[in-house]
Structure 1
Amino acid sequence: MRRVDELLAEHGTTFAEEAGIKLADKPQPLYRLLVLTTLLSTRISADIAVAAARELSRSGWRSPAAMRDSTWQQRVDALGRAHYVRYDESTAQHLGEGAEFIRDQYRDDLRRMADAADGDPQRLEKLITEFPRIGPTGAQIFCREAQAVWPWLRPYFDRKALDGAKKAGLPTDPKRLAKLVPGDEARLAAALVRRSLQR
């Protein structure tokens, strides 16, 4: 379908791809997606959140253990370098607390969270909201992106993505949308969210 091809070409980059995260079903990229989700879960532009995720990665904090080894001030400084300033101090705190939570709850491996969800996307959303700072919207961001590596999540199109589908004149039924891009649901969801944000 030409309209879908155009959407993907124009807007089909996921937040993870923008942040330089090569998503895979492995502890480190999944953790980096969780960090990105935490950063996106404030009233701040997605561009700044993505830049902050890149800066934290450049600082070497790509795993929960590395994040725990960083100081609060180091995290504040890194967020500041990315212009993530209004929420830098609270977010630095939440990133530290989240790194401790993932150790205590999942032994630093979010695949254990997926196991705990037992194939239920709504259960996964609930588990994600147990992390500091991440609410229902953040949980949806995580699931939208994670469906690229966790097939049991597919198709995952939240309300924002479905709003974008409506604006683009596409079906608003997740299963019908998924048939348009088998295996590429995460990119379509990203494109539809960006479409929903356009005036």
Structure 2
Amino acid sequence: MSSRIQKIIDEFGNNPLGKSPLAKRPLTATPETILAMVMDAMVKSKPISHELSQKTINHLIEAGYHDIDKLHSSTWEERTMVLREGGYNRYREQTATNLGNLAEFVVNEYDGDLNNLLKSAHGQREKTRELIKEIKGIGDLAVELFFDNVQSVWSSIAPFVDSRSLQTAEELGIGADMHAMYSALHQDPKQMSWFVNGLSSVRLEKKQHVIESM
């Protein structure tokens, strides 16, 4: 199991937000990082191509919307334009509305910093899930995608593997025991996030045979 996990990390792993403009900086639990991860989950939970959703989140970050002040001061028309430039057409208007609601939620409920949500949840994963789902546009799949990434900086969320990646892990003979996977990674939450993102890449790129050949 350990060798397959390491191969997934080495060949397919990626750090959270690793394909976004934030990839060049080490990720820490700044308000900007957490907000970017929520937007990433909101966008990628919709049934559109992975490439298109990644292009969209890149445009949102380039527009500075991971800064709560910038997002909060943006207009619906401005958010719609950024989403259009990202090619995010099918869910553009609803997502522009949801991004506005997200800004209001973060400012009004958590003083502009979603790290305060984790504090309100006392670091507990299920309470965090309950609170994050109060954001319009964040359903069960979006929460899973958010947890995949945020465990790298909110260590109390680790170990976490979203349901689709967990199925991929089972198909690859790794199994479905998240704690066993975490132990194989020396309980390193950043490595766990890299691994889960690697599983997602294996699934999306249909590269299961590369790992199964070991």
* Structure 2 gap ranges (5+): 209-214
For 1:155, which of 153, 159, 171 is the aligned residue? 159
Runs of 4+ in 1 over 4 A off after TM superposition: none
Cα offset, 1:60, TM superposition: 2.3
Alignment-derived partner of residue 43 in structure 1: 47
Q: Distance in 2 between matches of 1:138 and 1:173?
A: 22
Tell me if structure 2 keeps the 8 A contact 1:72–1:96: yes
**Superposed CA RMSD:** 1.6
Letter in 1 for 2:128: L
State the shift of 1:15 in Å. Answer: 4.9
CA distance in 2, matches of 1:120, 1:189: 20
Q: How many correspondences in the alignment? A: 199
Tell me, in whole angstroms, the C-alpha distance in 2 between the residues paired with 1:20 and 1:147: 20
Paired residues for 1:18-97 under 5 Å: 18-21=19-22, 22=25, 23-97=27-101
Q: 1:174 aligns with which of 159, 170, 178?
A: 178
Task: Determine helix, strand or coil for the equivalent of 2:33.
Answer: helix
Residue 188 of structure 1: how far off its partner (Å): 0.9
Specify which of 162, 177, 185 is matched with residue 192 of structure 2: 185
CA offsets 1:75-112 (integer angstroms, 9 cap, x no match)? 11111111111111111111011101111110110111
Paired-residue identity, %:
24
- Corresponding residue of 2:10: 9
After TM superposition, the score normalised by the length of structure 2 is 0.87
Distance across 2 between alignment mates of 1:130 and 1:45: 26
Of structures 1 and 2, the one with the larger relative CO (CA 8 A, separation 6+) is: 2
Task: Assess if the C-alpha contact under 8 Å between 2:35 and 2:67 holds in 1.
Answer: yes
**TM-score, normalised via structure 1 length:** 0.93
Q: What residue identity is the alignment partner of 1:190? A: N
Asked whether the 8 Å contact 2:55–2:86 carries over to 1, the reply is yes
Residues 147 and 186, structure 1, Cα contact 8 Å, conserved in 2: yes
Unmatched segments (≥5 aa) in structure 1 = none
> Structure 1, residues 56-86: CA drift from partner, whole Å, max 9, x if none?
1212222122112111111111111111111
Could you tell me whether the CA contact under 8 Å between 1:167 and 1:196 is conserved in 2? no
